[in-house]
A and B are shown apart, each in its own frame.
Chain A
Amino acid sequence: MHPRERPTSRRQFLIRAGVVVGTLTGADALLSACGGSAKVAATTTGTGETGVLMGPGGIPLARRDHPVTLPLYSDNAAIDSGLNLEKGPLNLFNWSAYINPAVVRKFEREHNVKVSITTFENEEEAIAKLTGGNAANFDVWWGTVDYISRAVAGKLIQPLNHSYLPNLRNVWPSLQSPYYDQHSRYTVPYTVYTTGIGWRTDKLKKAPPDYANPYDIFWDAHPYAGKVAILDDQREALGMTLLRRHIYDINTENPTLINRAEKDLAELTSLVNVKVNVNDYTDIPSGATWISQAWSGDMAGAWNYLPKGVKPTVLGYWSPAEHAETQNDMMTILRGAKHPVLAHTFLNFMLDNQNGLENLSWNGYMPPLTACDPNTVISKGYIPKNLASTVIRESDFKKGVTIDALTTKGQSLWENAWSTFKAG
């Protein structure tokens, strides 16, 4: 149930198998995909004249201290204002289990349209589908910060017309014009979350907050060998080792730092036989894992997976007050959307305070809406009181660090380090 990657399910296996078969048999698709993007300015990534890292299509890589206004293109304009709603159906392309079906049904009732949802398991899979000629089949796509500038450079998504989005005012002021998309030209935020440590309070003698450096718990967990897990996500896992060493630039492209992060992580294999998965939300409640790197949204919903009779107080979650890995996911409208007005209406619907809260009640991930303050979320019973640390305030978000897009060279460095770690 998390935004970045999913555990291997039977469906995922079949999808992967399909991707492999597709790779093997889809020579034409590969060619057409390549042809499609080749039409776009294919600037090599690297460092620009001002020392700013340049991303695909010549768009600077957004950093918190270097906000980026995504470019507009004459052949990719926003829709006009005041258009009538299309009849639908509205086609959503979303992470699996990432939107409350009741909220979707509410939208269907309110606008008398059908909504169809197609899911993906990770952003790479989504991009492969969208660039493989499927973009026209969907209206709304859920993106992540590290892929948005690519999607703009590749003209996969269209600019938004804010006249259809009055609820954007409900969003935290800092995310009404986020650093990765100044003026919300192409995106509106969907959820915010932190990455921290989840644990079983009834199993550990010393909890993460009891450590001077809570990340040290992973390297000190010999008594719990086999019960320790990290997220199966290269940026998250390697990034955590950087934060442990108080290196807060988790988008570094310095090979020395990345190699050291890999070696630190590799220590966990020999020290605690670390498991690598994204099952934090089920494995901690079931007791299969006692300490895990975890996403706040997963831990917020983990109490739903506790065995009968086990109280939510057995679950703990910690993330640092400052320099926590904080992320946000976003909704975009695809350039080839057949129902762009309906898509704008849907985005606006999801930015409604009440709808946002209802969505949170199901998936555990907080929308960055002003109405979603910790008191409301806990008093309404969406999250147990002992997991209040999973709730993010705007001030927390501002103090965090984010996983941002890398240059191609940087991406390669991180991927190779991850592959070396995974080789064992």
Chain B
Amino acid sequence: MTRRWFWPSFALPGAGWLILLFLIPTYAVVAVAFGTFDPIFSTPVPIWNPLHWQFASMRSVLSGLEPGHAFWIVFVRTVGYVAISLAGCLLIGYPVAYYLARHARRTKGLLLVLLIVPFWVSYLMRMLAWVGLLLPDGLVNRTLMDVGVISAPRAWLAGQASSVVLALVYGYVPYLILPLYATLDRIDRSVLEAGRDLGGSPIRTFLHVTLPLSRHGILAASVLIALPMFGDYYTNDIISNSPRTSMIGNQINLFFQGGSEQAVGASLVIVLSLFLAVLMSYYLWITVRASAETKESLL
């Protein structure tokens, strides 16, 4: 009996952590979303018993999510920004990860350290550094004007969607490269050699062997960065802070800052979480299917 519980007991700290810092807080958000507010201070009053939940805030959010309404506009914009940023991260990150896994030999250690270096500086500080670079008389404008790309300084920080996407790509690309590198590095070299032996050119081998084998890595890395991007508000706040580029995270932050509408903020969190849960389910389904296929091929 003792032996039976010995190894599973190792999962207890993790399980406790999850219950304490994930399940209970998540339920607290739900209780706030379906709760009421203090009549004097307007602070949220969570309702813990589902039988007493109130749905006015959620109804308000759902009506705002109808096409053309405020939350719909923000939601579509957020999906667009995240999709473009994700594509940008993949375009930059995949070649870097591929080079690290396949071609960097002596320099591999150094390059990996360089990839980790950004983590030594807080995300916020790195974003603030971009503010200096993107100022009207900042380095970016001066360089672009010097090489003749633009004739007058561009107002990068004045509510430009391109600046927000650029900042998102810059901020999240290191988080994509590392897991992608791990996947590419694990691909058996003999499989690649087989591709070559069968007459495949380097490009054909890449397209028909490396890329399919790294598909799950791409998916995992994409999920890893897309999830926080969807909830990101501070990148936008620092780089733009214009209603024109407002993302769903900005709206949630707006409601959570105070006032009597914090339940609306909590309802938005639930809607966003459900949307992300759908994306996660797809990822899990792909992973489970791949695992089953691997087992079948081994048998």
Interface residues of chain A, those whose CB is within 8 Å of chain B, are: 8, 10, 13, 16, 19-21, 23-27, 30-31, 33-34, 37-38, 40, 42-45, 56-57, 122-125, 127-128, 131, 150, 153-154, 225-227, 232, 266, 269, 273-277, 287-288, 408, 411-412, 415-416, 418-424
Question: Can you list 11 A-B pairs, Cβ within 8 angstroms, ordered by A?
Answer: A8-B237, A10-B124, A23-B44, A30-B45, A34-B43, A44-B39, A226-B158, A266-B243, A287-B136, A288-B135, A411-B259
Q: Across the two chains, which residue of chain B brings its CB closest to A279? A: B241
What 5 A-B pairs have minimum CB-CB distances, sorted nearest first? Answer: A124-B258, A226-B158, A24-B25, A424-B243, A226-B155
CB-based contact B257/A423 at 8 Å: no
Number of B residues with CB within 8 Å of any CB on chain A: 55
CB-based contact B40/A423 at 8 Å: no
Known pairs A24-B21, A33-B43, A123-B258 / 18 extra A-B pairs, C-beta < 8 Å:
A16-B256, A23-B29, A25-B25, A27-B24, A34-B43, A34-B45, A37-B39, A226-B159, A273-B159, A275-B241, A288-B135, A411-B42, A411-B260, A419-B255, A419-B261, A422-B254, A423-B71, A423-B251
Instruction: Give chain A residues whose Cβ lies under 8 Å from the Cβ of B40.
Output: 37, 40, 42, 56-57, 150, 153-154
Partner of B157, one of A34, A288, A422: A288
| Most chain B CB atoms below 10 A, which of A23, A154, A420 | A23
CB-based contact A419/B254 at 8 Å: yes
CB-based contact B44/A30 at 8 Å: yes
CB-based contact B241/A277 at 8 Å: yes
Partner of B258, one of A42, A128, A266, A273: A128
B30 to chain A, nearest CB (A): 11
Instruction: Give chain A residues whose Cβ lies under 8 Å from the Cβ of B244.
Output: 269, 273, 424
Within 8 A of A (CB), among B156-215: 157-159
Q: Across the two chains, which residue of chain B brings its CB closest to A55? A: B40
Instruction: Give chain A residues whose Cβ lies under 8 Å from the Cβ of B259.
Output: 124, 411, 415
B72 to chain A, nearest CB (A): 9
B contact patch SS = helix
Instruction: Give chain A residues whose Cβ lies under 8 Å from the Cβ of B70.
Output: 419-420, 423
A-facing mask of B41-78, CB < 8 A → 1, else 0?
A: 11111100000000000000000000000110110010
A187 to chain B, nearest CB (A): 17
CB-based contact B256/A421 at 8 Å: no
B246 within 8 A of A: yes
B273 within 8 A of A: no
Within 8 A of A (CB), among B134-164: 135-136, 155, 157-159
B266 to chain A, nearest CB (A): 8
Q: Across the two chains, which residue of chain B brings its CB closest to A156? A: B41
B250 within 8 A of A: yes
A-B contact count (CB 8 A): 163
A192 to chain B, nearest CB (A): 24
CB-based contact B43/A128 at 8 Å: yes
Instruction: Give chain B residues whose Cβ lies under 8 Å from the Cβ of A23.
Output: 25, 28-29, 32, 44, 256
Interface residues of chain B, those whose CB is within 8 Å of chain A, are: 20-21, 24-26, 28-29, 31-32, 37-46, 70-71, 73-74, 77, 122, 124-125, 128, 135-136, 155, 157-159, 234, 237-238, 241-246, 250-251, 253-261, 264
Bound CA–CA A266/B74 (angstroms): 14
Instruction: Give chain B residues whose Cβ lies under 8 Å from the Cβ of A411.
Output: 42, 259-260
CB-based contact A124/B39 at 8 Å: no
Bound CA–CA A232/B240 (angstroms): 13
Partner of A37, one of B41, B136, B158: B41
Bound CA–CA A37/B42 (angstroms): 10
Instruction: Give chain A residues whose Cβ lies under 8 Å from the Cβ of B39.
Output: 37, 42-45, 56, 408
Instruction: Give chain A residues whose Cβ lies under 8 Å from the Cβ of B26.
Output: 24
Instruction: Give chain A residues whose Cβ lies under 8 Å from the Cβ of B20.
Output: 25
Partner of B124, one of A13, A131, A274, A408: A13
A417 to chain B, nearest CB (A): 10
Q: Across the two chains, which residue of chain B brings its CB closest to A412? A: B260
Partner of A154, one of B41, B125, B159: B41
CB-based contact A424/B242 at 8 Å: yes
Bound CA–CA A24/B125 (angstroms): 25
CB-based contact A408/B21 at 8 Å: no
Instruction: Give chain A residues whose Cβ lies under 8 Å from the Cβ of B250.
Output: 422
CB-based contact B246/A273 at 8 Å: no
Instruction: Give chain A residues whose Cβ lies under 8 Å from the Cβ of B38.
Output: 33-34, 37-38, 42, 131
Q: Across the two chains, which residue of chain A brings its CB closest to B135? A: A288
Q: Across the two chains, which residue of chain B brings its CB closest to A269? A: B243
CB-based contact B256/A273 at 8 Å: no
Bound CA–CA A273/B154 (angstroms): 14
Bound CA–CA A110/B26 (angstroms): 51
B269 to chain A, nearest CB (A): 10
B170 to chain A, nearest CB (A): 18
CB-based contact A127/B258 at 8 Å: yes
Bound CA–CA A44/B159 (angstroms): 40
CB-based contact B261/A25 at 8 Å: no
A408-B260, A423-B70 known; A269 vs B42 contact (CB < 8 Å): no
CB-based contact A422/B43 at 8 Å: no
CB-based contact B43/A423 at 8 Å: no
Bound CA–CA A138/B171 (angstroms): 39
Instruction: Give chain A residues whose Cβ lies under 8 Å from the Cβ of B21.
Output: 24-25
CB-based contact B41/A416 at 8 Å: no
Q: Across the two chains, which residue of chain A brings its CB closest to B237? A: A8
Instruction: Give chain B residues whose Cβ lies under 8 Å from the Cβ of A275.
Output: 158-159, 241-242
Instruction: Give chain B residues whose Cβ lies under 8 Å from the Cβ of A24.
Output: 21, 25-26, 28-29
Instruction: Give chain A residues whose Cβ lies under 8 Å from the Cβ of B155.
Output: 225-227
